[in-house]
Amino acid sequence: MKDFSRKDFLKLASLSSVCLTLASCLGLQNQRRGENFSTLELIDRYNSQYEQSRKVFNKRINKYPFVIAMCKSTEDVSAAIRYGKANNFPIAVKSGGHSMDGFSSNDDGLVIDLSQINSVKLWPDRTVSAGPGCTLARLYDVLLPRQRIIPVGSCGSVGLGGLTLGGGYGFFSREYGLTCDSLLEATVVDGNGLIHSTKKNPDLLWAIRGGGTGSFAIATELVFQTYSAPAQMQVYQLKARKLNVSRTKSILRKWFTFCEQIPLSSFSAYILNGHTLTVLVTGFEGCADDLQRSIREFALCMDECRANPPAELAVTLKRYYGSPVSLYFKNSSAGFYRGFKDIEPCIDQVIEKSMHTQGIIYQINTLGGNISNFAFEEASCYPHRRFNFISELQAYWQKPSQEEKLIAVTKEIQSVFRLHGISSHYVNYGSLDFDDWQNAYYGKNYSKLQAIKKKYDPDNRLRHPQSINA
């Protein structure tokens, strides 16, 4: 644990009185409205819960906030922000704690933890309201038994808030758009602790549809349109082993062409792990014949093709929930692509470095389809809708001693992409290594986001190393 000064001690000593004052005021307000108020819990460095509460999903990230506010309601978040403002703390926001470079925590500041604001309810009009701390696994548990979905990702422990505010995509996005495209309205708390509904603030709704987290407001309730869920899902798994660079590149070229032929309801991923390549393809009812025909043709360049039997959607999705426990990793965007030509000049170097470094995975996923819908583009600040593919560079290790080498290789690969003009990146796959991150994440929309930041968080209270700055 980090040492702290007498000044820090005096701040800690004042926490309980400040918390009680805020809770008392809010409690009286809520009593007048006939509501129940959950007292805000502040966890300092003397608290037995501190060590566990400060941790995030990435074990590589090791930060020590001055205090952690465990919030259970919108009013709690408002109180926490006002406490942070009174004490001149920088404020980081944590829902699921999956920020890849640790932007959901900080050192010597305030972390607002939303994990307990995790309720989820499906309404008679088939909209769903959920808290930002609701995990995707919890969301699926509520929606799928009622035959409903929204286009979210597959990692079960990810928080819905962070996913949505950065855009969000998954198996169903080509058919229904990004996660943020299904967002109808939200309740948010700005950098002054004021509570807003996006019904009355359309600029905020535009901004939180892809504008990233921890910049101008904290979403505490999200309302989504839902869609009819398919009863079953089938996954095809194709593999090629003992690869060299030339064959890997050839398969990649063919995979891009193959992806142009699959139905909008399908998703595909190209996953290079060492000398083994795995291609995943999903299928649903109504497209099986056409999809299988395309897969048979593509499978001619692979070594193995396995079609898993169709299974209930809930059962199949759980296979892709990912690790339930924290890991050591360094993952980041490896760029958006329109097609193979975007990476053809540099892909040999990327494959070579990836293939010969144990622990490195290079993955490309399909986008396109309704993600490119013009109406969605107009209604959100997400700027990358013209790209049909998104890639991710991943590095995993088990011992801290392995970190330096793997991070060095990821930087080398990112440098190759940068030198060859791959400059657009996904904010949810953010990295401190991106120098021009403002344009990389937000493109032409950054200046408008700056104006919204100035309006709702003029003191730059909500911030992290790559937050929007007015």
> Residue 9 pLDDT > 70, yes or no?
no
Q: What is the mean pLDDT of residues 32-47?
A: 68
Element (H, E) at 200: none
Contact call for residues 390 and 365 (beta carbons, < 8 A): yes
Quote the CA–CA distance of 235 and 268 in Å, as a whole number: 10
SS3 of 130-149: the string is ECCCCEHHHHHHHHHHHCEE
Show me where the domains of the chain are located. Answer: 6-113, 120-229+444-456, 232-311+324-435
**Number of neighbouring beta carbons within 10 Å of residue 56:** 21
For residues 67-79, give the mean pLDDT: 97
Q: Are strands 110-113 and 91-94 parallel, antiparallel or unpaired?
A: parallel
Level-2 CATH architecture, domain 120-229+444-456? 2-Layer Sandwich (3.30)
In the predicted structure, residue 35 carries a pLDDT above the cut 60: no
pLDDT digits (tens, 9 = 90+) for 150-161: 999 999 999 999
pLDDT for the residue 37: 41
Let me know if domain 6-113 sits in CATH 3.30.43.10: yes
Q: Which residues contact 131 (CB under 8 A, 6 or more apart)?
A: 114, 117, 118, 119, 120, 160, 161, 220, 221, 222
Task: Please state the separation of Cα 398 from the chain's center in Å.
Answer: 23
Predicted TM-score (pTM) of this structure: 0.92
Collect all residues with Cβ–Cβ distance below 8 Å to 270 and sequence separation of at least 6. Answer: 252, 255, 277, 279, 363, 364, 365
Does 25 score more than 80 pLDDT? no
CB 425 within 8 A of CB 166: no
Number of C-beta neighbours around residue 157 at 10 A: 18
pLDDT tens for 435-467 read 999 999 999 999 999 999 999 999 999 999 999
Six-digit token pair at 448? 């408008």
Predicted confidence at residue 290, as pLDDT, reads 85
With 90 as the cut, is the pLDDT of residue 14 above it? no
How much is the pLDDT for 39? 74
CATH class in words for 232-311+324-435:
alpha beta
* pLDDT digit string, tens, across residues 348-391: 999 999 999 999 999 999 999 999 999 999 999 999 999 999 99
CB 396 within 8 A of CB 329: yes
Partners of 332 in beta bridges: 393
The 10 Å Cβ neighbour count of residue 286 is 11
DSSP bridge partners of 188: 196, 219
Which residue shows structure tokens 């090791």? 62
